[in-house]
Structure 1
């Protein structure tokens, strides 16, 4: 079975499964045995046992669908706040340089929103909102582009060894001239 959301179930399938769990809750309230509930709903006894434990702990609401597991960890409003914090830069948040890493963003999310999100989820969330992965160029501050260009044009051709011409060769080590 293919999952349209890259994992998880479609909304229709989640609703269908929730209806089965709600029906199981009605049967639990009526005093039906786990095996009878499993047979009537055409599910495993183990699932019915798990549902009954949840139903005993939290009632019928405990069997309701919690939504897609792939839903965003931060709402649009919270992501807007996160973007404002990211625009301030890492130095404003106590890091020594101006490089945002996923680990630093995870720490910032923890500080601001008291949420824990995996690095891959953060990367996906940033990509979804148009942020791109960028690696800063490591260049010396004293770098002189004009001097580099001149060296490549003038000095490098003199330093570079000339290429050997292509001539017929022999496979014999002792008599190179023979064929």
Structure 2
């Protein structure tokens, strides 16, 4: 996994006629993000939530583009109910599964750009990457979330969950999926997230 500027990854993607895909992970608990709301004058709005326990929805996502194609958002979720011994977070096997599903959906080589998370740099992950000839991987600079458009996906998702009083793990998972599915069908939003990081969004060849 080479630590090179994003411009290098873009050049490799052009040479291979590949999709360039940015990846990242995030999590959401039953404690919702605070958001502005309406209430009668003089009465502070109160949203009752269930925040106890270790319930968490983890999400691994990728935003993908190639000139002339519609931008894509592809993701996987993992539900943690706070049970003893339960896996907490995505590991190499789950990341590899997401990469394989993305490759199958896009039908072309992938140039992957992600951060330096320890799981991304492990010996097991390097072996999984090496076994996939259609994959090239580049690392973002350290402490540079502004360069990853997936960060903007998470920001929009969490805003959409503002003040949400999810009571159960299942309700939280459904809400997270609902917000992400909405974005999947609005490619112009993903284009905007690319542009927000200084990257040129794809230019479709047809409406």
Q: TM-score range by the shorter chain?
A: under 0.3
Name the structure where helix makes up a greater proportion of residues: 1
Q: TM-score, normalised by structure 1?
A: 0.22
Larger radius of gyration: 1
Q: Looking at both structures, which has the greater relative contact order when contacts are Cα pairs under 8 Å and sequence separation is at least 6?
A: 2
